[in-house]
Chains A and B, each alone.
Chain A
Amino acid sequence: MAETILLIDDDPAFGEELAAFLEGHGMICEAVAEPAAAIPRMADVKPDLMLLDQRLGATTGTEILR
């Protein structure tokens, strides 16, 4: 079973390309551009790894981590 990665970055173009890149390397990856959607998606996706951008408009990656 491949590792699942949840990727949160407010630049959708960047999120999509990075997700495609990681999938090209055999991982399952979902990109989320809306920080508010990150927590609910986490419950569904149950990722092995989360990649959080630090600067996310009004909030930060550290904030979501907490």
Chain B
Amino acid sequence: MNRASVAAEAVEQTLLRSVEAVQGIQALTQTRSNLLAEGNLNGAEAIADRLRAIVRSEQFGVLQVSTIDRTGWMSWSTTPFKGPLWLGDREHFLVHKNGEKGLHISAPLIGRASKHWSVQFTHPIVDADGNFGGVSVVSYDPIKLSDTLGTLRFGEKSVSAVLRIPDGQLIARSKDAEHQLGRPNEADHPAIIAARTSPSGTLHLKSIVTGRNMLAAYRTIGTLPLVVVIALDAESELADVESLAWSVHLAVFSAPLLAALLLEVMAQRLARQRSRAELDLARSRHDSAEYARGHIARLLAGLPAAVYSATVTASGEVRRFTLPDNVDRLTGWPLAELGDRGDWTSNVEAVSAERWCNHYRSVIQNGDAAIEYSFRRPEGSTMWLRDQARVLDAHDPDNVEVVGYISDITQERSLHEQTMESAKLATLGEMAAGLAHELNQPIAIMSLAAENACRTLETKGEAGIAFAIQRMNRIAEQARRARTIVDHLRIFGRKDDEKLGPVHLDSVVDGAMTLVGSALREAGIAVAVDVSGVLPAVHARQILCEQVLVNLLLNARDALDANEPEAPRVVTIAGSVGSVSDHIILTVTDSGPGIPAPVLARMFDPFFTTKAAGKGTGLGLSICHGIMRSFNGTIGAANSQGRGAIFTLVFPRAPSSPTAGELSTPEALEFHYT
């Protein structure tokens, strides 16, 4: 591990954030297409508005969002375009038409009209039958990305670049991007070759531009077909801090400054406690840590994050709280205005002193913990922060040393909220067909009963009254049945901003079955429910629980579509108390073909999609994951031992239950998905 590796890791995090935003935008275009196909023009226009707003605000370096229909004509764009525009011969259309189901990143091109560089991030749109229905195109500004790389530079002669796997096409470069973007691709670039065998590592390179010897680190970007390469001039790298290496391994979250801070704190402790000789050693380490810190602080100063150090008592009270100089970039408050802990907490909304203590107690107990809260900026607006803290040294229980990493997650949350709402709309659309049948049944019965009552009264007169009354009662009963369905639909479609409270899982199952029971019956699937009404209540929200279960049931139905005709078509929903009695468990098991191992590993990643997900938005499971996380619960998937998949939802028990008093979710951790 060297400085280049540290830098590569920081760049990876920055890029991942951008690309996840891009994929979120693509999910919105898919939802828009679904809504259009269903004739929901208002819904489609609402999403179009959001996309236009994203482009206008120049968030994430997005220049334009557009869609191409299945025949290759541009069908929609955030930027008005003239007349029919045929793109059927473009690489980014053809690659998806020919079967690419995932994200494709095109080579940078200079726009014919705009004269600006752009990179197309494309993803196929699927139609209601799961077939190719066109392409979603997000045009991304590689110069802006290159500028970001430029600000993350790690020394005079360093250079960083993002290359496409597997052909080595340059996507962004920290220096001279305007000219370099047009250069031919390098499939034999050492980083491309090395990335085939290991996702990250170090290399010796000769710059193809200057011919200088460079030390480089490369790192593939998550699961994307991209690799970031950071090359440092060999001489400057020799001045690197050897001891930085081990400390970086200790840092679980990708905050290089954290590592430097760790080293610094350790050096200070040594200085206090050890002998003279060790003190000298510690000082030299401290100097080198300072040197590294200077570089890393510059690197991080541009990121929306701040690293603090603190000491905490065993009861979770914060004794010392030291924020970094760049906190003003994160919060807008100059460091001087955040001089002590009280200045910080007074700007935090809805986190009581007791909750802060609980948070830091859990940091001490678990080694690390995170809390999210909204924070007032000087001009009165609020932002969302994620505050992750980690124990550095717990030798002295009344002076536990802690470092924390505070990052701005406002955009992440707003995008998440938008996709949650869109996904709910899309799920509603998916349920619509089944619901039509579900509503038709009571209507048919009411119509028959009314006709029977009339006929009896007409032909038998008074003798038919008793029979007619039975028919009237039946009409009332069937009207209630229809109303239950409509009520559920209305609740499901409503924005949900209620607080967490006790929820009974048997009523969740009833609610979800009201919505999708007919869709499952229609697919010839038998549903076995083993959820007892005496199961303790869970701490959650009814509607969101139903949304999770509806998603899992519709997924199970799609999975069973892959079964041979004679194989059993069964879905089992079972509830139980966990081995830890604070946990209530709900499992959904299907008799489908199970989940392939590569999918199993990634299925809850935000925006991960598979072919099978083509029927919906491909967002279902990540939304379920988000919802379960908002309850402080979990969702997991595995293949069951017989056949099929088993999804496990773990809920915290409701606080009113006798053993779960301390389990209530801190208010600041509640995610207000609307």
Contact = CB atoms under 8 A, between A and B. Distances in A.
Contacts of B524: 55, 58, 60
Contacts of A57: 521, 526
Interface string B464-482: 0000000100100110000
Interface in A12-66: 13-14, 16-18, 20-21, 24, 55, 57-58, 60
Contact of B522 (A11, A16, A55, A58): A55
B585 to A, nearest CB: 26
A34 to B, nearest CB: 14
Contact of A14 (B445, B455, B521, B569): B445
Interface string B429-463: 00000000000010011001101100110010000
A17 B474 contact: yes
A13 B474 contact: yes
A13 B445 contact: yes
A7 to B, nearest CB: 12
A14 B522 contact: no
B80 to A, nearest CB: 48
Residue among A20, A21, A55 with most chain B CB within 10 A: A20
Contact of B477 (A13, A58, A60): A13
A11 B524 CA distance: 15
A13 B477 CA distance: 10
Contact of A24 (B445, B455, B477, B526): B455
B521 A11 contact: no
A21 B449 CA distance: 8
Residue among B452, B471, B521 with most chain A CB within 10 A: B452
A17 B521 contact: no
Size class of the contact patch on chain A: 10 to 19
A21 B477 contact: no
A17 B449 contact: yes
Contact of A21 (B448, B478, B521, B569): B448
Nearest to B447: A17
B434 to A, nearest CB: 11
Contacts of A11: 441, 445
Contacts of B456: 24
A58 B471 CA distance: 29
Interface string B110-133: 000000000000000000000000
Contact of B445 (A17, A55, A60): A17
A35 to B, nearest CB: 12
Contacts of B451: 21, 24
B455 A13 contact: no
Size class of the contact patch on chain B: 10 to 19
Contacts of A17: 445, 448-449, 452, 471, 474
B526 to A, nearest CB: 4
A5 to B, nearest CB: 15
B520 to A, nearest CB: 10
B444 A14 contact: yes
Residue among B448, B478, B522 with most chain A CB within 10 A: B448
A13 B479 CA distance: 12
A18 B448 contact: yes
A18 B478 CA distance: 14
B437 to A, nearest CB: 9
Contacts of B445: 11, 13-14, 17
A55 B521 contact: yes
A13 B444 CA distance: 10
A16 B477 CA distance: 14
A38 B640 CA distance: 35
A58 B521 CA distance: 8
A53 to B, nearest CB: 10
Residue among A13, A24, A55 with most chain B CB within 10 A: A13
Given A17-B474, A57-B521, A60-B524, A24 B452 contact: yes
Contacts of B448: 14, 17-18, 20-21
Contact of B441 (A14, A20, A21, A60): A14
A63 B459 CA distance: 39
Nearest to A63: B524
A58 B526 contact: yes
Nearest to B444: A14
A13 B478 contact: yes
A18 B444 CA distance: 9
A14 B477 CA distance: 12
B467 to A, nearest CB: 8
Contacts of A13: 445, 474, 477-478
Nearest to B454: A24
A15 B478 CA distance: 13
A24 B471 CA distance: 13
Nearest to B478: A13
Interface in B508-560: 521-522, 524, 526
Interface in B595-647: none
Contacts of A21: 448, 451-452
Contacts of A18: 448
A58 B523 CA distance: 10
Contacts of A14: 441, 444-445, 448
Contacts of B471: 17, 20
Nearest to A58: B526
7 contacts: A11-B441, A14-B444, A14-B445, A16-B474, A17-B471, A24-B451, A24-B459
Given A11-B441, A14-B441, 6 more contacts: A13-B474, A13-B477, A17-B448, A17-B449, A20-B448, A24-B455
Which 8 A-B residue pairs are closest in the complex by CB-CB distance?
A17-B448, A58-B526, A20-B452, A24-B455, A17-B449, A14-B445, A21-B448, A13-B445
